[in-house]
Structures are given as C-alpha cells and as structure tokens.
Amino acid sequence: MTSEHRIYIAQGEHATGVTDHLVIATLLGSCVACCLWDTAVRVGGMNHILLANGTGGSTARTLSGINAMEVLINDLIKLGARRDRLKAKVFGGARMISGLSDIGAENAEFSVSYLSQERIPLVTQSLGGTQARSLRFWPTTGRVMQKLTNTRMHEVEVKPPHPPPSGLELF
C-alpha cells in the first residue's frame, strides 16, 4: 500500500500531477481554486487565484486570473493533456469580511467566465458564501473533497502591547 503524497499550494501558486497517490491541497477564502484534469491521460492540476484582475507591477499580473489559468493549462499540456479534453471544478470566492469590496465574487465570476470562453466544461462549482474552504484534489481522477469552515472570519480587536519597563532597551 502506497501512502499519499500531498502538495500544498498557497496564493498565486499551482501544482500538477500524474500519479494516483498525489493530492493537491489548499485553503481558500475569497480566492478561487480551479481544478483541471484530462481523464484520457490521467493528468490534472490546481491553481490558487488571489486576484482575478491584476493591475500594476509584475506581482499583481502573476497573481491574476488569466495568468494563473494559462500557466496551469500550459503545464498540463506539457504533461500530455489536450485543451479540448480538460474538465473543470472551481471553488472559493467567499465574502470573508463584510463591509469591504467583494473580491470573492469577482474571482468567482472571472473563473466561470474564463472556462466558458475557453469551452472547458465546468463539472462542479462551490462558489460564494461566507465560509472558507479547505480542498483536496486528486489530479489523475478529478476527485475533490471540500471542507467548509463552521465560522465566518471576523475582526479581532488588537490591544496595544504594554510599554517596556524603564531601563530596558529593545533592539
């Protein structure tokens, strides 16, 4: 019996795989993860989109949705996938903090629109809401497990630290 090998991806990252024992995992709030796979060659991958629309410097562009999708698709093609055989599942896009702009909805809208424009079938989606999601994706089969958090994120009051005792020098 072979144990699972887990790769964790963070914001702006992606991972691909071709082995049955690989699991790609991430944690999402307002970000969106797109899981793509090609069952004919048993290859797949997941990205973690921080910002749907990057503006400004190279970091914002690297984290933008179009770049995240194209990098993932290109890596899958290098592993033998064909664009016309890809299937997708998307997750995330929650509204984590009320009162701020709804970046989660923008990320979700981008992902669904991108897949439609590229004619990549969207098999499953779990988008929106107010809960974070923990994901596990098996890239060779397209299997995904999702766990929703049971609480909404909220701001915590930050209390200033006590002043240092006199005669103590901090460096």
* Structural domain contains residue 160: no
Across the chain, mean pLDDT equals 84
DSSP 155: -
* Structural domain contains residue 152: no
State pLDDT tens for residues 139-153: 999 999 999 986 554
Beta strands in 29-121 (DSSP E): 32-38, 43-49, 87-92
Report the range out of 22-26, 64-68, 93-97 with the highest average pLDDT: 22-26
* Structural domain contains residue 28: yes
pLDDT score for 50: 84
> Sign of torsion, CA 67 73 77 78?
positive
Calculate what percentage of the chain has a pLDDT beyond 70: 78
* Structural domain contains residue 155: no
Task: Please tell me the total count of domains within the chain.
Answer: 1
State pLDDT tens for residues 98-138: 766 788 999 999 999 999 999 999 999 999 999 999 999 99
* Structural domain contains residue 167: no
What CATH number should be reported for the domain holding residue 48? 3.30.1330.200
Q: Kindly tell me if the per-residue pLDDT of 60 is higher than 50.
A: no
* Structural domain contains residue 57: yes
* Structural domain contains residue 171: no
pLDDT score for 42: 97
* Structural domain contains residue 124: yes
Residue of higher predicted confidence among 46 and 57: 46
Q: Kindly tell me if the per-residue pLDDT of 157 is higher than 90.
A: no
DSSP 154: -
pLDDT score for 149: 83
pLDDT score for 57: 46
- Give the per-residue SS3 of 113-135: HHHHHCCCCEEEEEECCCCCEEE
pTM of the model: 0.80
Backbone phi and psi for residue 78, each to the nearest 5 degrees, phi listed first: -60, -25
Q: Look up the domain containing 97 and give its range.
A: 5-145
